[in-house]
């Protein structure tokens, strides 16, 4: 019943995105909290004005975060609808993304990564659009440029540049060096503008200090967080099952779908590298990781033959997310 409703490809189901968001944000809206930033985490160039404007209101930050998550859900769905890498038409990725994020309760407030993910999804959409194009340069530049803007919200997004370069190699007809250069120029241009602005406003050393803090500050929210460990353990299990399903379907999927899923897999791998290699990376990276994970699990559930098991998995997921709401407060 629950699975059938969530995966139905009906326009009326779009109302489920904000309803599910409100359901799992309710406790956070009633008892809002500010995010425990480390020094410099909220000082990234494009996020700093937002932080200065909203920093005194935990409730406003929580509401804004919920609105951003609903926007992200619509974008997650739009990408799937446009590029159809899940073979059947379904709205499942978007509500699943909201449900999964509902379990990460400390991210139910404003964080730079929420804005960065908007630009990341726009960058992914532009990257996917170059498939089999004869003149992909404008889309490649746009993709790099959007990723660069996202990096000015959340610095550690830069770790995805290799995945995007690999995406260019997978999706273009001929792998020419110009295409890689265009991607790199597009990515570096917002960074160049940021440094130029910092120099003109005599904030260059502050910008460098912020970059340094967002790379080397030890920041681990996972320590001693047993409920989050339980939630992530269940998430890893579902991701593994979803990955096995993709491997089983690989030969039956369209060539474009295979390439899109391969790029998502690379994004996932580099995000894991970010968590391992960059001390400042912590639970906020999960918001980005949930994008490829939502598609993997949605594909798994959409093609699950036994309705009982699909319903059971969703009931268990709802139960764990509700448990996370209870223990967080």
Tell me how long the chain is: 329
> Angle formed by the axes of helices 58-83 and 112-128, to 10°?
10
Backbone angles phi, psi at 207, to 5 degrees: -65, -45
> Which single residue is written with the structure tokens 């996020």?
47
Query: Using only C-alpha atoms, what is the Rg of the chain?
Result: 20
Q: Is 58 exposed, middle or buried (0-12, 13-18, 19+ CB in 10 A)?
A: middle
Cα(10)–Cα(211) distance, integer angstroms = 44
Domain range annotation of the chain: 2-327
Q: The whole model's pTM is what?
A: 0.94
Instruction: Give the pLDDT of the chain (329 residues) as one tens digit per residue.
Output: 666 767 666 666 788 888 888 988 888 888 899 999 988 999 999 999 999 999 889 999 999 999 999 999 999 999 988 888 787 788 889 999 999 999 999 899 999 999 999 999 999 999 999 998 888 999 999 999 999 999 999 999 999 999 999 999 999 877 678 899 999 999 999 999 999 999 999 999 999 999 999 999 988 777 767 888 889 999 999 999 999 988 888 777 788 888 998 999 999 999 999 988 899 998 899 999 999 999 999 989 888 877 778 888 888 998 999 888 887 65
The DSSP 8-state label assigned to residue 157 in this structure reads: G
Contact 117, 291 (CB under 8 A): yes
311, HSE (Cβ side, Cα atoms, 13 Å): 7
Q: Find, among 97, 193, 117, 197, the residue nearest to 157 by Cα.
A: 117
Within 10 angstroms of residue 255's Cβ, the number of other Cβ atoms is 9
């Amino acid at each position: 019943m629950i699975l059938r409703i969530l995966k139905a490809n009906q326009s009326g189901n779009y109302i489920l995105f904000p309803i599910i968001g409100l359901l799992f944000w309710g406790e956070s809206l009633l008892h809002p909290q500010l995010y425990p930033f480390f020094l410099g985490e909220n000082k990234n160039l494009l996020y700093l004005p937002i932080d200065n404007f909203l920093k005194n209101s935990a409730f406003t930050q929580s509401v804004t975060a919920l609105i951003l998550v609903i926007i992200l859900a619509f974008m997650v769905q739009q990408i799937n609808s446009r590029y159809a890498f899940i073979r059947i038409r379904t709205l499942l990725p978007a509500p699943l993304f909201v449900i999964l994020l509902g379990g990460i309760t400390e991210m139910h407030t404003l964080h730079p990564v929420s804005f960065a993910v908007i630009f990341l999804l726009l960058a992914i959409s532009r990257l996917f659009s170059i498939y089999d194009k004869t003149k992909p340069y404008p889309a490649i530049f746009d993709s790099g440029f959007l990723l660069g803007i996202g990096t000015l919200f959340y610095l550690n997004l830069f770790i995805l540049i290799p995945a995007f370069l690999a995406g260019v190699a997978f999706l273009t007809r001929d792998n020419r060096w110009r295409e890689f250069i265009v991607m790199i120029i597009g990515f570096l241009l917002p960074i160049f503008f940021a440094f130029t602005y910092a120099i003109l406003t005599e904030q260059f050393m502050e910008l460098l200090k912020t970059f340094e803090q967002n790379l080397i500050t030890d920041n681990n929210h996972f320590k001693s967080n047993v409920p989050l460990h339980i939630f992530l353990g269940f998430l890893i299990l579902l991701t593994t099952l979803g990955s096995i399903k993709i491997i089983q379907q690989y030969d039956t999927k369209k060539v474009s779908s295979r390439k899109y899923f391969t790029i998502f897999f690379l994004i996932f791998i580099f995000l894991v590298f970010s968590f391992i290699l960059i001390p400042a990376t912590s639970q906020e990276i999960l918001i980005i990781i949930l994008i490829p994970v939502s598609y993997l699990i949605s594909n798994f559930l959409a093609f699950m033959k036994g309705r009982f098991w699909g319903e059971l998995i969703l009931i268990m997921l709802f139960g764990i997310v509700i448990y996370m709401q209870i223990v967080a407060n």
